[in-house]
Each structure stands twice: as C-alpha cells, then as structure tokens.
Structure 1
Amino acid sequence: MGLNEYLFGISSEDIASRHVKNEGYEILDRNFSSKFGEIDIIAKKDEILHFIEVKATKGEYEAIYRLTPAKFEKILKTIDFYLLQNGLNSDFQVDLITIENNNIKWIKNISL
C-alpha cells in the first residue's frame, strides 16, 4: 500500500468516526488489532457494542464490495478476541460504513 492509499484510509476512518460520534455513539477504540485482524471503530450506544468496518473508494465500483467473506471472518475472530481480552459479555453487532464520493452509508448489523 502506498502513502496516498494509507492517507486516504486514515482520512476515511476519521470521517466515519465523526459520523458515528454525531449519531450519539461513544467511540471506545479505533484500529484495534490482534493477530487475527483489525477493527476500524468500536463504538457503544444503548449498551450495544458496534464493531464497525470502514470501506471507502474513489473508484467507480461500490465500496461495499471491498468487504470480502475472508475479511468478515477475520473481523469475527478479532471481535471474539476483543471481548475475551476485555472480559465483556455484551450484545454486539457488526456494522459497515461505506464512503463513496463523500457520501456516507451506514449499514447496520451485517452478516455474510
């Protein structure tokens, strides 16, 4: 990954984090990583944990297609690790935020 792609990813995650905060969620962690993978944003609202993957694109394809089944499996393993590491036993869901041409779409409680 080149510097431009890295900076684009960081910028997209910043935009998504602001959006999440503006919707009344508390950001608990960003870029949580384990040997299994990484979770872009971990937020909480109404006692539900939200593990949020951020996908953005400048291209002509939809960002949603950048979340592959393999990536989703890594997210689930990382969630298990996060919950275990923090001694949590709470309700959670996996969300996806896509950013395309400055349009933000939040898809909640996804599964593949």
Structure 2
Amino acid sequence: MHTKAKGNLAEERGCEYLRKNGFRIIDRNVYNRFGEIDIIAFRDNVIHFVEVKSAMSYEQAVNNITPSKLQKLGRTIQFYLQKKKLNSDYCIDALIVSDEGIEWIENITL
C-alpha cells in the first residue's frame, strides 16, 4: 500500500475513533499556505485540531511529531481561525494509529 493510501486509511480510522468518543468532525485535510490540518473536530465546546500519525509502532509514529511540525501546525491553525473568524477554545491533539491500535494524545504543546 502506498504512503498516501496508508495515511488516508489512518485518518479514516482516526475519524471513526473520534466519532465513537463523542466528537463531531468539522473538517478534514484543510490546507492553507502554512500547511495542513488532518482533522478538525469539536467536543464539549472545544475545537480539536488533530494531527494523525501512523507507523508500524507507537514509538515510530510519536517520533514523527517534531517541534518544527508543531510550530508549522500552530501557524496553520492560527491562519484557519482568523480566516473562519473563530474565537473558541481549542487544543492540538495527536492520534497515533499503529498496528498496535489507536492512541489519542490530548493537548500536545510546543
């Protein structure tokens, strides 16, 4: 399976996981000049910007969330919030999708 197809499958599994845990999916694969947001979800009056990482193991996937990736994601989110004129609480989460299962890491920071 190609990398893009694996990524799409991981995101699909991630959306299913989020829905089962009470989230409403607002948007997916949002691109702007700063980067991409994999999943935007909403629960309990908080917008969750979700970075999906997949790999064969949890360690491999989590190591792909680098400080530079988080900085780029932060700029992407700020641009999205301004463009949509949103003034809501939000956080950045990660969904680690591996052969071992799915793990949600809430509120990852820089």
Give the TM-score category using the shorter length: over 0.9
Amino acid at match of 1:15: R
Corresponding residue of 2:80: 82
**CA drift at 1:38:** 0.4
- What is the CA RMSD across the aligned residues, in angstroms? 1.4
Superposition TM-score, scaled by structure 2 size: 0.94
Q: Which runs of 4+ in 1 moved over 3 A?
A: none
Q: 1:97 corresponds to which residue?
A: 95
User: Which structure 2 residues correspond to residues 1-112 of structure 1 after superposition, within 5 A?
Assistant: 4-58=2-56, 61-112=59-110
How does the TM-score come out when normalised to structure 1? 0.93
- Count residues in correspondence: 110
- Shift in alpha-carbon separation, 1:61–1:45, aligned structure 2, 3 A: closer
Give 1:99 deviation, angstroms: 1.1
Percent of counterpart pairs with the same letter?
A: 38
| Cα shift at 1:62 | 2.7
Residues 9 and 81 of structure 1: is their aligned pair in 2 closer, same or farther, counting only changes over 3 Å?
A: same
Q: Hey, what's the Cα distance between the residues in 1 that align with 2:58 and 2:48?
A: 28
Q: Which amino acid aligns with 1:97?
A: L
- Residue aligned with 1:7, SS: helix
Tell me, yes or no, if the aligned pair for 2:58 and 2:96 is still in contact at 8 Å: no
Which sections of structure 1, spanning at least 5 residues, go unmatched?
A: none
- 8 Å CA contact retained: 2:58, 2:97: no
